[in-house]
Amino acid sequence: MTTIELVQGDISRESVDAIVNAANSSLLGGGGVDGAIHRRGGPAILEECRKLRASQYGKGLRTGQAVATTAGDLDARWVIHTVGPVFSATEDRSALLASCYRESLRVADELGARTVAFPAISTGVYRYPLEDAARIAVDTVRAARTDVEEVRFVLFDERAYEAFARQLR
């Protein structure tokens, strides 16, 4: 059984085994959650991301996939980078968003992580509607077969927190 917790705050301050990053396919950093994680986590994370680019992910990490690095100076053992879909009004990309959660949990299982913090992937720069994104996140985690004992959704603002809370009720 996986317990689901909701927290409002900055995910880069969480203390868990693995923190999931809403990255982009370059793996080389950006704004939002990605910026906060790299800022607080320090250069070790970017260094490992660069190595991953040079070895396995020359063409970038594909949307819906996930890969782990060190967590650097964060209070976690790993950062799991995943690439959410950019929202499209004409194409249903919900399967790709669900894949981010499923693949991140699969990577967490491979690592042996028992507590995992997720941001609301794709709901910032990638403009995914919050209600849809929250439903996909909660449904996917609930349906996942994983050894992760606690999934903590860390929502930056009250609006996102409330959207996730509605899905959990």
Q: 78-83 and 18-23: which strand pairing?
A: parallel
Identity of the residue, 5 or 147, whose beta carbon is nearer to ligand AR6 in the bound complex: 5
Q: Which is nearer to ligand AR6, 27 or 107 (CB)?
A: 27
DSSP code for 122: T
Segment contacting ligand AR6 (CB under 6 A): 55-63, 117-125, 135-143, 145-153? 117-125
- Out of 41, 64, 72, 119, the residue judged to bind ligand AR6 by CB under 6 A: 119
- Footprint of ligand AR6 on residues 8-47 (CB under 6 A)? 10-12, 22-24, 30-34, 36
- What is the token pair recorded at 13? 């301050």
How many amino acids of this chain bind ligand AR6 (CB under 6 A)? 24
Element (H, E) at 114: none
Q: Is 123 in the site for ligand AR6 (CB under 6 A)?
A: yes
Tokens, residue 158: 């009250």
Please provide the DSSP assignment of 6-31 as one string. EEES-GGG--SSEEEEEE-TT-S--S
What is the sign of the dihedral through the CA atoms of 125, 126, 127 and 130? negative
Active site includes 109?
Answer: no
Nearer to ligand AR6, 112 or 131 (CB): 131
Beta carbons of 152 and 16 less than 8 angstroms apart: yes
Q: Annotated active-site positions, please?
A: 34
Binding site for ligand AR6 (CB under 6 A): 10-12, 22-24, 30-34, 36, 84, 119-126, 154, 156, 160
